[in-house]
Chains A and B, each alone.
Chain A
Amino acid sequence: MNNPYEPIKTQILKIIPETAQIKTFVLKPENHFEFNAGQFIQLTIPGVGEGPFTPSSSPYEKEKMEVTIMQVGKITSTLHNMKENDLVGIRGPYGNRYPVDEWRNREILIVGGGVGLAPLRSLFLTLTYNLKEYKKIVLCYGAKTPEDIVYKESILNKWQKEFAGKISFRVTVDVGDEKWKGKVGLVTTTLDGIDEEVSNISESIAVVCGPPVMMKFTTLKLLDVGYTPEKIYLSMEKNMSCGIGKCGHCQLGKFLACRDGPVFTYEQLKDIPAIWD
């Protein structure tokens, strides 16, 4: 009997602290496991419960998988107290992926806020795996303070060097500190003058992930500068229990986020009341 409620036994290989409240967990599932950028998994803390998370590692990395998790509730707090070699469970992958094949030869703008960079990192690694397929990539990222930046080394240093001249980076913090030499301002300010980077805005792609308010204001600004609703992609965080279209928790208008999402275009969502709450 194929039981969709049964998790796959998975080992925590490594735990990487990102910020005071965010850690990346490197996972090794017992069975072969593949996913595409944008899809999510249900992560089981044995005996405690499950929560939905989107892997942040490259889908091309088949041996292990990473998830970046902020401590916000019971499941995530328990997870933060776990150690390397501990066992967790996973089910999935569920939901849809970023339709990267449709984005060939286009300019792609990625906008992340806080821990929302996690699924976007998986997307970024997917896009850079075939970098020449895309006309241009711009990565915008905003965190509260320099201390809150995730994948700090990659985003401030490694990627910038590796992709110099090919990808532009626009990183900002809401509040700086004495060591911070970068930009200060809300993530929406990274979109100021975006037309200097992106030549054909109405034909280009924008991908947004972050806290609800950040997604809201970023989307409004994107519309303002000329992005079209059907080319703005949003990753929606919803309450999820089953992940497989049955339990009803993730309903969003006529959609189920676990089945029709978690990636939606703004065009799909724009008429649904209270999507940002």
Chain B
Amino acid sequence: MEKLFVGKDNFLKFVQNLVERFSVYAPVEKEDFLFYEKVNQENIDKIKVDTRRAIHPLKSFFLPARRKVSEYFNSSLVHEQQNCVILGAKNCDLHALKISDSVYSGEKFGVEYKDPFYIEAREKTTLISFDCLSPDEVCFCRLVGVDPFPGEGFDLNFSSLEEGFIIQVGSDKGEKLIKENEALFSAAEQNMINKRDKNRERVVKLIEKNNREFKPAKSYRELIRDSDASPVWKEHSEMCVDCGGCNQICPTCRCFLLTDSKTKDKYERHYLWDACLLTGFARVAGGANPRPYLHQRFANRLLCKFYFFPENINLDACTGCGRCIAVCPGKIDMRKVFRDLAVEKKITVGLEK
């Protein structure tokens, strides 16, 4: 498809138009992190759409930490999902949606039982993504085969240049938004596209440089095979305080718990985020627990990403977004876990000095 261009001023007009019509969420900087905030006239000039991923995982828009999923027996749940626009998603965010899509609306995880709440939220959300320009130190997308710029999964994608943005249309939804604001856009010229490609190359190199010491000669999938008994899990989980923060912040961690309660006149069922790092996650009513030790649960989280998901849908369930590294109070870094697994298996790790 033909690529479009929008100048800086017209871009602001475009965002204004969106804010007038939809609930628009975009990253805003607070201390060291970017958080998604609802865009309004006060914060509209503070949004940071083209730097790096927000610390908020996108899943919270589709799988909120707590959601009512049933009012049973005497009433039926009225559920309202608003149309919204997410501005400033990054490729790792889009990539993570492939995982949650597969679980909540795909064929491999219960064909007959898709999650209607997730599906509705996905349908009513427009995703406007941006190329990453200044990745975080903990970002390692390239180590797991993810690029810092999107190729698919967006409605519109923007690539920043000094003079404005190149726009790529990814869906009918995106196409419609463009048509509705046609006067703001022009055709992108080849030299602009060349500049965009240069930027992309620069960012790829930067990420590879940042991760030079962690790059193994084999994929994480291969490194984790048959690693259950490795001492690496114990060593690295020593600093883990079992908080489950890595689960909550991870865009591809999708586990949850259903809980029931009774209010004055009805029974309610809620969906609640759960965390596989927590002791009781897999314990059965009779008391048996397949993963009683922390190092087993710690290993399980990464086995889920690089063994369970690849076996099921042939995709790694990790996008290299580095959020789990950024939030861990124990300063645990999964890149180091894999580096040590590589060392243990005598597989080269780390690029030329």
State the CA gap A253–B73 with chains docked (Å).
36
Residues of A within 8 A of B282 (CB): 238-239, 249, 251
Query: Are B286 and A72 in contact (CB-based, < 8 A)?
Result: yes
A6 within 8 A of partner (CB) = yes
State the CA gap A46–B307 with chains docked (Å).
37
Query: Are B72 and A7 in contact (CB-based, < 8 A)?
Result: yes
Report which of A47, A87, A251, A252 forms a contact with B261, defined as CB distance below 8 A: A47
Query: Are B72 and A89 in contact (CB-based, < 8 A)?
Result: yes
Interface string of A242-277 (1 = CB under 8 A from B): 101111110111101001000000000000011101
B267 within 8 A of partner (CB) = yes
Query: Are A46 and B256 in contact (CB-based, < 8 A)?
Result: no
Residues of A within 8 A of B283 (CB): 239
B110 within 8 A of partner (CB) = yes
State the CA gap A133–B214 with chains docked (Å).
60
Q: Please report the total number of A residues contacting B with Cβ < 8 Å.
A: 45
State the CA gap A253–B288 with chains docked (Å).
17
Tell me which of A9, A89, A248 has the highest count of chain B C-beta atoms within 10 A of its own C-beta.
A248
A48 within 8 A of partner (CB) = yes
* Interfacial residues of chain B within 147-182, with CB under 8 A of chain A in the complex: none
Closest Cβ of chain B to A210, distance in Å, is 12
> Contact residue range for chain B?
35 or more
B61 within 8 A of partner (CB) = no
Query: Are B256 and A237 in contact (CB-based, < 8 A)?
Result: no
State the CA gap A244–B311 with chains docked (Å).
18
Closest Cβ of chain B to A253, distance in Å, is 8
B15 within 8 A of partner (CB) = no
Query: Are A237 and B290 in contact (CB-based, < 8 A)?
Result: no
A75 within 8 A of partner (CB) = yes
Query: Are B260 and A47 in contact (CB-based, < 8 A)?
Result: yes
Query: Are B228 and A273 in contact (CB-based, < 8 A)?
Result: yes
State the CA gap A51–B308 with chains docked (Å).
24
A212 within 8 A of partner (CB) = yes
Using CB atoms, name the residue of chain B closest to A258. Answer: B110
Query: Are B262 and A245 in contact (CB-based, < 8 A)?
Result: no
State the CA gap A44–B73 with chains docked (Å).
11
Closest Cβ of chain A to B221, distance in Å, is 12
* Interfacial residues of chain B within 64-92, with CB under 8 A of chain A in the complex: 69-70, 72-73, 77, 79
